[in-house]
Structure 1
Amino acid sequence: MQGMNWTDLQVFLAIAQAGQLARAGSQLGVNGTTAARRLRRLEAQLGASLFEQTPRGQVLTEAGEALLAKVEAMASAAAAIEPPGGRQPGSPIAGSLRISVSEGFGSWFLAERLAAFVAAYPGLTLDLVANSGFLSLSKREADVAITLSRPKSGPLVARKLSDYALRLYATPAYLAQAGIPAVPADLGGRHRLIGYIPDLIYAPELRYLDEIRAGLTTRLRSSSINAQHRLIAGGAGLGVLPCFIGDADPGLVPVLPQSRIVRTFWIVTHQDTRNLARIRALTDWLAQIVHEGRSVLLPPAERAADGT
């Protein structure tokens, strides 16, 4: 870093954290043109491009990511020696983060816990992308992903986040009308199964009905796990839900509790950005809340259909 202008490095840091030139300039009290000029001066000095222009804004190149890790360390060291009166409140970690998660985990487990994270890091802007399917980390569509399988290729780093359980649920009213199945063979006949649309299943881990009984087919289908939950809660039939969804609904009871299914969540980051301060903060926090919520994700298997 010898010979580099600290102001230019601060501009670089602001752009990396904000993701957009204009926003970074506004935070620094300069216009976007000035921020762009200082960035070009830094790039010329380094002989490397630090950002790529994408629909999301400025995205770090490999050279930019390497520089960011060093500049973040410098900024943290500078903040540590500032007089207390001159230090800004809150965490020095700032910028934007995008996390890609499955619809159910994002809306039922993660969303209600995010308040603590954003309160701890008020300088961060967080995008929670919770839908059917996952964004690509290799294409820089997201910073962190929680997936249902470990990636087999690409410049990615994955580690196991947690196992989670799924089982059949229904309303007491539906079971009173259709009967309580005692064994998987009872699921045929008058029972209506609710589940995914087979040709729209975005991950093979969601093909789990054969683990309950080979040959089971669904009669009410949706690509959305939240829609499936609403169908089950409305008494339209019975279906498989993650326990963190089914057990959270007091209007549902487990069916065939012995037919429990277990799957795994993986936390995935890009190998070039996984050590950035804001990404480490998020992944460490995710590991913590999943550890604390283990009994929600993987509850005891013996809860019976009467709710006891």
Structure 2
Amino acid sequence: MNDWNELRLVLAVHRAASLTAAAERLSVDHSTAFRRLKALETRLGVRLFERLSGGVYQATEAGQRMAAAAERMEDEALALDRDLTGRDHRLCGRLRVTSSETLAYSRLTRHLAVFRQTHPGVVVELVVDNHVLNLSRREVDIALRPVRPKEGDLWGRRLAQVAWAFYASPGYLAENGGSLSSVTGLERHALIGWEYGTTQIAAAQWLSQVVPHDAFVYRSNSLVNQLVAARSGIGLALLPCYLGDSEDGVVRAMKTPAPGLEGELWIVAHADLKGTARVRAFFDVVGEGLARERDLFEGRR
């Protein structure tokens, strides 16, 4: 093998189990990826993937061996890249950051504006994504996450705990008996919730345990949209306090945060990037800025 792009293609197809998804990941069109993979198999004289129904590509033994070799090469290249980047003491260049839609909408962007004013040579690319992106593979440089990182090669800190509460428009509450004193009164209200089948989000799991299934009148996979729905008078929405308490048009339906539902906000990067000047600057400006809003995140404002 003398072409790294061939190994990248095999690794991408193996990871995605799909030629279409692999082509998108590599920023090539499907026909090009198909032609390259077919030419590689012809040249090697071995089938690397079995083509199954539904467009699924399943690696053969030869394909698995090649993908494993490609992954080892990728790991070495990424480690070298992180090592060199970690020695970069310049306050300029690109910095890729990821956060949830809710945090980006509500609190983060104002701190990014301060960072931009303080360090104009750094270009921030914000990836708004609720999925956990891979810091080891440099999918992003810095992640703002709602959970404690489990990977041992990450470096970061907890910025705040995150409280949740129920919110509604003042008009809705006036028409439906006013504020609640506890969660036991939720069943008589119209509830806004997550889309069916949402299990990986703690707030969605908590709601499914506390509120009857037939109490939900509106569902959305976006917390920002749930906020808009509550503001429009559709019903009660369970929102993080940093979102609900900072928005006009909604008030707490229950004065205290939801019991037993408390998350966290972490800022993390790969440990190899500790010495990168723009990473440390981001921690200092944006991380500290968010930490100073701890009372809002923890529902005490």
Q: Provide TM-score, normalisation by structure 1.
A: 0.65
The residue that corresponds to 2:232 in the other structure is 234
The residue that corresponds to 2:290 in the other structure is 290
CA distance in 2, matches of 1:245, 1:291: 15
The residue that corresponds to 2:271 in the other structure is 271
The structure with higher relative contact order (CA 8 Å, sep 6+) is 2
CA distance in 1, matches of 2:83, 2:130: 33
Matches for 1:133-282 after TM superposition, within 5 Å = 133-153=131-151, 155-180=153-178, 181-189=180-188, 191-200=189-198, 202-204=200-202, 206-209=204-207, 213=210, 215=212, 218-260=216-258, 261-282=261-282
Q: Is the 8 A contact 1:107 1:130 kept in 2?
A: no
Q: CA deviation at 1:167?
A: 0.3
Q: Is the 8 A contact 2:78 2:136 kept in 1?
A: no
Q: Is the 8 A contact 2:78 2:137 kept in 1?
A: no
The residue that corresponds to 1:62 in the other structure is 79
Residue 78 of structure 2 aligns with an amino acid whose one-letter code is T
Q: Is the 8 A contact 1:201 1:223 kept in 2?
A: no
SS in 1 for 2:109: helix
CA distance in 1, matches of 2:249, 2:124: 32
Change (3 A) 1:67 1:138: closer
CA distance in 2, matches of 1:206, 1:131: 18
The residue that corresponds to 1:125 in the other structure is 123
Change (3 A) 1:94 1:214: same
The residue that corresponds to 1:98 in the other structure is 96
SS in 2 for 1:165: strand
Identity of aligned residues (%): 30
CA distance in 2, matches of 1:123, 1:147: 25
Q: Is the 8 A contact 1:149 1:205 kept in 2?
A: no
CA distance in 1, matches of 2:253, 2:196: 22
Q: Is the 8 A contact 1:150 1:158 kept in 2?
A: no
Q: CA deviation at 1:214?
A: 6.0
CA distance in 2, matches of 1:121, 1:279: 11
1:154-178 per-residue CA deviation (whole Å, 9 max, x = no partner) reads 6323421211221000011111222
Task: Tell me how large the CA RMSD over aligned residues is.
Answer: 2.6
Q: Is the 8 A contact 1:132 1:223 kept in 2?
A: no
Q: Provide TM-score, normalisation by structure 2.
A: 0.66
Q: CA deviation at 1:63?
A: 2.5
Q: CA deviation at 1:204?
A: 3.6
* Consecutive unaligned residues in structure 1, runs of 5 or more: 1-51, 54-58, 74-91, 302-308
Q: CA deviation at 1:64?
A: 3.6
Q: CA deviation at 1:231?
A: 0.4
From 108, 111, 116, the equivalent of 1:110 is 108
CA distance in 1, matches of 2:85, 2:111: 29
Q: CA deviation at 1:252?
A: 1.1
